[in-house]
Amino acid sequence: MSTSAAMAQVNVRMQRDLKERGDATLALVGSSPAVIIRQLWQALAEGGEAYQRIMRALAKADVAEEADAADTSLLQASTLFEELGTTLGLDPASFVPDTRPTSEVLEDIEWELFEERGLA
């Protein structure tokens, strides 16, 4: 048996379009769903101030969802992303937009997922 910690997998179902748009956004900032989820779970598990900030950000998102906010959804998403990013120690000022075509970004994301799963 390995000396490394036991691993678990998190699976989430969502609309394909939502996933692709989210993956593309994360790629623009040099991250991936796996990295963000690990950082988020770490902050949640540790509790404390990071946990409180995450829960406040998510609560704001829930309240915003209930409002008729079609015109402000991008602003809300940006605010949530910035708050979560700050909580996870990301520096939004250092984000550099990726100017590659979306298809190329998604291809790189797929490749990274294959590598994470040991398939590449």
Averaged pLDDT of the chain: 75
Please tell me what DSSP assigns to residue 67: S
- List pLDDT tens digits, range 69-84: 444 566 666 677 777 7
**Cβ neighbours for 82, distance < 8 A, ≥ 6 positions apart:** 92
Please tell me what DSSP assigns to residue 71: G
What are the boundaries of each domain within the chain? Answer: 36-91
- List pLDDT tens digits, range 26-65: 888 788 888 888 888 888 888 777 777 777 777 776 655 5
The token duo for 26 is: 């994360």
Burial label for 91, CB within 10 Å (0-12, 13-18, 19+), is: exposed
Closest CA to 80 of 100, 55, 105, 104: 55
